[in-house]
A and B are shown apart, each in its own frame.
Chain A
Amino acid sequence: QVQLQESGPGLVKPSGTLSLTCVVSGGSISGNNWWSWVRQAPGKGLEWIGEIYHSGTTNYSPSLKSRVTISFGTSKNHFSLKLTSVTAADTAVYYCARYSNFIRRFDFWGQGTLVTVSS
């Protein structure tokens, strides 16, 4: 059973950079899957941020593309999210998730981590 776990600072200052890591266990990052980030502002809906394939190919939400970078770590059992120039509007629960290209759905999710942007 694949498991994902997010980690990172829970508080980021305005204009700073939000950095999160997702550790993948119980399965390989290789395979026909996209490794994704999804966020949810308090009381709001789900917003897709972007994804990375094991080849390193990335796709980003058009609305966040200029501020987002998703990459793999050196050990390649984890992937990371960087979001620059954050504002209070970036306050959200951030989830990492696996998107299966085979079944075409988000089939495994992390528990989510709350990141608050505040001075």
Chain B
Amino acid sequence: NFVLTQPHFVSESPGKTVTISCTGSSGNISRNYVQWYQQRPGSAPTNVIYEDNKRASGVPDRFSGSIDTSSNSASLTISGLKTEDEADYYCQSYDGSSRMFGGGTKLTVL
């Protein structure tokens, strides 16, 4: 089973840059695309990054995605942090006929 591991919590100040990692348990994370979702309390998730590094429609260019094959991980970077970016973020990929999510990262902007 392919597992995606994220840090539970990250925090940063407004205006700064934060990076959330998503590490694959085995194999090559670049073999299948990684997506990122933002979830605010009480709401369904919304896609922010798809196919590793493409921004979903309406997502500001402060959000970017990347893959680092040396660490077998994907990353979501948010620059110029705003208080409205405070949310839970989930990476998601697939392995054969299974989809999977990372455990989620709670981003606090303080």
Chain A: residues with CB nearer than 8 A to chain B? Answer: 36, 38, 45-48, 51, 59, 61-62, 95, 97, 99, 103-107, 109-112
Contact = CB atoms under 8 A, between A and B. Distances in A.
Nearest to A99: B99
Contact of B97 (A59, A105, A109): A59
A71 to B, nearest CB: 17
A106 B37 CA distance: 9
A106 B49 CA distance: 11
Contacts of B33: 104
13 contacts: A36-B99, A38-B101, A45-B88, A46-B39, A61-B98, A62-B1, A97-B44, A99-B99, A104-B35, A105-B51, A105-B92, A106-B45, A106-B47
Given A45-B101, A105-B50, A106-B47, 4 more contacts: A46-B45, A103-B51, A104-B35, A104-B94
Given A105-B35, A111-B44, A45 B92 contact: no
B102 A45 contact: yes
Contacts, number: 55
B104 interface: yes
Contacts of B101: 38, 45-48
Describe B's contact surface by its main secondary structure.
Answer: strand
Contacts of B37: 46, 106
Which range contains the number of B residues in contact with the other chain? 20 to 34
A46 B97 contact: no
A107 B99 contact: no
**Which of A38, A105, A110 lies at the interface centre, i.e. has the most chain B CB atoms within 10 A of its CB?**
A105
A62 to B, nearest CB: 7
B89 to A, nearest CB: 11
A14 to B, nearest CB: 26
A48 B99 contact: yes
B21 to A, nearest CB: 15
B54 to A, nearest CB: 8
A49 to B, nearest CB: 10
Interface string B38-67: 010000111100110000100000000000
